[in-house]
Structure 1
Amino acid sequence: MAKPIITLGGLKVVLMFGMLVIILAGIKVAADMIVPFILALFIAIVVNPMIRRLERIHVPRVLAITLVISVIIFLVVLLLAYLGTILNELTRTVPQYRASFISPLQAIDPWLQRAGIKVSVDELFKYIDPNSAMTLATRLITQLSNAMSSIFLLLLTVIFMLIEVPQLPIKLQQLMSRPEVGMVAIQRALDSVSHYLVLKTVISLVTGLVVWIMLIMLDVHFAFVWALLAFSLNYIPNIGSVLAAIPPVAQVLVFSGLYEALLVVAGYLAINLVFGNIIEPRMMGRGLGLSTLVVFLSLIFWGWLLGPVGMLLSVPLTIAVKIALEQTEGGKSIAVLLSDVTKS
């Protein structure tokens, strides 16, 4: 009797991969709806330890949530107002930088000709239109004002999540076939993600502050914007700090010269060396439990699936997936592949 071409086990694997593809396709299509929920969830995870500390000093939970969210809203309003002022300043000053941008191009033109690279500086000059930059800055200001409503809706979602936290364990236990094992796994995932996010937020805040001070000392324009960029991109593993350094270095190189640009590069290298290689590993303690390759691949995967927010949250999302896989017999082998065996 002839053997079947596809065994039952093989068919099961094919079906599982098919379902996975369908689920991922659905998540990608619905990313606009899913991303705000995921972002609100992780903000709630970061904020919840503050709420619990206030509860320990006998502050009612609702009042504690109100106080913390009020402070966040106040800081967000100040931040957006300041960013709006900076973007208005950028709109006014862009035209006077046109000549400064063209001069370096004209200086390197002879070198390009000797190297056999034929580039017309006059043609490039036509593409440098200050009106386009002003239009872009105006559009950014408009988007910034429109973002206010989205931010308040996001914070409203966070508030309801924080209110629901005390009742959540009871509801989850009723849904599980093995409540004790399931709750241990959920608590472990929450502790790991909370540990990572809280420490990463503190490190990112300090990194942004140090970058701001460094750029002010070097008299770099729009230092606050670049510091905010350093804070935000510090959440992206491996390449975030490099991406944050590119715009200010390019600005200084074009408008101030090579020597000043090298100083900015040296400043970023020193900050990333101290925070990325010394302070952060010590504060993170035993590590993330993920291999370096997995961290980088997760950055690409979550960025493709969820966009920029996926890149920012790639590590905690992968940690949560790894812990979930460890709870099933079929997923344990995949969890081992994701883990850093030298730290297990």
Structure 2
Amino acid sequence: MSLLEKTEKLQSSGVVKALLVTAALFVVLAGLKIATNIVVPFLLSVFIAIICNPLIVKASKYKIPKPIAIIAIIAIILTLVLLLGGLVGQSARDLSELLPEYKAQLNEQFVWLTARLAEYNIQISSDLLVEYFDPSAAMGVAASMLSGLGGVMANLLLIIITVIFMLFEAPSLPRKIHHALDDPDMKLNQIDRFLESVNNYLAIKTLVSIATGICVSLMLWLFGLEFYLLWGVLAFLLNYIPNIGSMIAAIPAVSLAVLQLGIGPAGAIGLGYITINMIMGNVIEPRYLGKGLGLSTLVVFLSLIFWGWLFGTVGMLLSVPLTMIIKIALEESKEGRWFSVLLSND
């Protein structure tokens, strides 16, 4: 066989392999899309278990029995979820009822604005302004997003039970993964680095997100803005999406501030969001996470669209953690490291 024939054969086999991988990927994605109702609660369970596991490990250092530690942590989480869920649910319902009132108020302001502009021969329709600038729409999207998350939390009992079993199985998980990857002697250090990186990333990101939500709620409460707890929870959830998450979280709160408090306080609230985001994202987070785990802004945006399409509201909220886990896994693989570099920032 000539060299040319060998080259053509290798190229054709490479093309066939790429087509097979692409086809398999589409089949897997289609299966995940169909099984969303099963996969999403499982993803939330894994997410919560990873966050809670460091607390279980910490409790074991103080000689606290694992069953007691798990029950205590689950009880705390369950209490917080029920309290916040009730308060946020009530706020979301009140906001939905007030949206027509806010829209009517906005129409009055636009009528006044177009009348002032007409005095200077600037003719703009108030209906056109409402169509292109509707803060009530932004608030409605935020309320719908939280309602969608509440629908997933209807499986709360199933999620909690799954988390409990995962926490009991957590210590044996690294050993099982080593055996599954034909490494019974535990020599593949990249497996341990991957598990440790995922644990550290999610735990630290969650703590920073909680601090962000508390700061936002406190700031809005000081300004006297309605539904400050709702916007704080939204800031906590969207803080998992770096770069653009904080901007998305600020839109409904600032929009409501324009209607309720006026343009001046709304601008101050927007400045407060920027300040909190800069401190959390540029000072606190890099100090504990480091800059080596960053994703490019384009990847963040595309992952938001992709995981949102695949898993809905929960997929959007977990888009960056899921992409981050894939990136960390690729970093530990020689074959996938090139793709990990493409996902990284500068």
1:55-74 to structure 2, matched below 5 A, reads 55-74=60-79
1:153-209 superposed Cα distances (whole Å, 9 cap, x missing partner): 211111111111233334333322234578533322221121111111111111111
1:202-259 superposed Cα distances (whole Å, 9 cap, x missing partner): 1111111111111111111111111111111111122110011111111111232211
Secondary structure (helix, strand or coil) at the match of 2:182 reads coil
1:254 aligns with 2:246: no
Q: What letter is aligned with 1:39?
A: L
- 1:84·1:144 contact (CA, 8 Å) conserved in 2? no
Cross-structure match for 2:287: 282
- 2:217·2:232 contact (CA, 8 Å) conserved in 1? yes
Alpha-carbon separation, structure 1, partners of 2:99 and 2:308: 32
Secondary structure (helix, strand or coil) at the match of 1:221 reads coil
Secondary structure (helix, strand or coil) at the match of 1:59 reads coil
Secondary structure (helix, strand or coil) at the match of 1:7 reads helix
Alpha-carbon separation, structure 2, partners of 1:39 and 1:194: 15
Deviation at 1:322, TM superposition (A): 3.0
Q: Could you tell me which of 271, 292, 304 is aligned with 1:266?
A: 271
1:13 aligns with 2:28: no
Cross-structure match for 1:307: 312
Change in 2 beyond 3 A, CA 1:71/1:334: same
Change in 2 beyond 3 A, CA 1:284/1:271: same
Alpha-carbon separation, structure 2, partners of 1:319 and 1:140: 22
1:46 aligns with 2:58: no
Q: What letter is aligned with 1:167?
A: S
Alpha-carbon separation, structure 2, partners of 1:281 and 1:120: 45
Provide structure 2 residue ranges, at least 5 long, that are not aligned to the other structure.
none
Secondary structure (helix, strand or coil) at the match of 1:324 reads helix
- 1:185·1:323 contact (CA, 8 Å) conserved in 2? no
Cross-structure match for 2:340: 335
1:236-247 to structure 2, matched below 5 A, reads 236-247=241-252
Alpha-carbon separation, structure 2, partners of 1:160 and 1:95: 46
Alpha-carbon separation, structure 2, partners of 1:95 and 1:42: 37
Q: What letter is aligned with 1:235?
A: Y
Deviation at 1:27, TM superposition (A): 1.9
TM-score for the superposition, normalised by structure 2: 0.82
Cross-structure match for 1:216: 221
Q: Could you tell me which of 106, 114, 120 is aligned with 2:111?
A: 106
Provide structure 1 residue ranges, at least 5 long, that are not aligned to the other structure.
none
Aligned length: 334
Deviation at 1:268, TM superposition (A): 1.3
Alpha-carbon separation, structure 1, partners of 2:40 and 2:147: 22
Change in 2 beyond 3 A, CA 1:319/1:143: closer
Change in 2 beyond 3 A, CA 1:22/1:96: closer
Q: Could you tell me which of 174, 178, 182 is aligned with 1:169?
A: 174
- 1:200·1:235 contact (CA, 8 Å) conserved in 2? yes
TM-score for the superposition, normalised by structure 1: 0.82
Alpha-carbon separation, structure 1, partners of 2:339 and 2:285: 27
Counting aligned pairs with the same residue, the percent is 42
Q: Could you tell me which of 61, 72, 83 is aligned with 2:88?
A: 83
Deviation at 1:296, TM superposition (A): 3.9
Secondary structure (helix, strand or coil) at the match of 2:292 reads coil
Deviation at 1:100, TM superposition (A): 2.9
Change in 2 beyond 3 A, CA 1:191/1:295: farther
Alpha-carbon separation, structure 1, partners of 2:149 and 2:328: 37
**Cα-Cα RMSD:** 3.6
Alpha-carbon separation, structure 1, partners of 2:151 and 2:295: 38
- 2:219·2:272 contact (CA, 8 Å) conserved in 1? yes
- Greater CA deviation, 275-284 or 53-62? 275-284
- Greater CA deviation, 188-197 or 311-320? 311-320
Cross-structure match for 2:161: 156
Q: What letter is aligned with 1:60?
A: P
Cross-structure match for 1:196: 201
- 1:101·1:255 contact (CA, 8 Å) conserved in 2? no
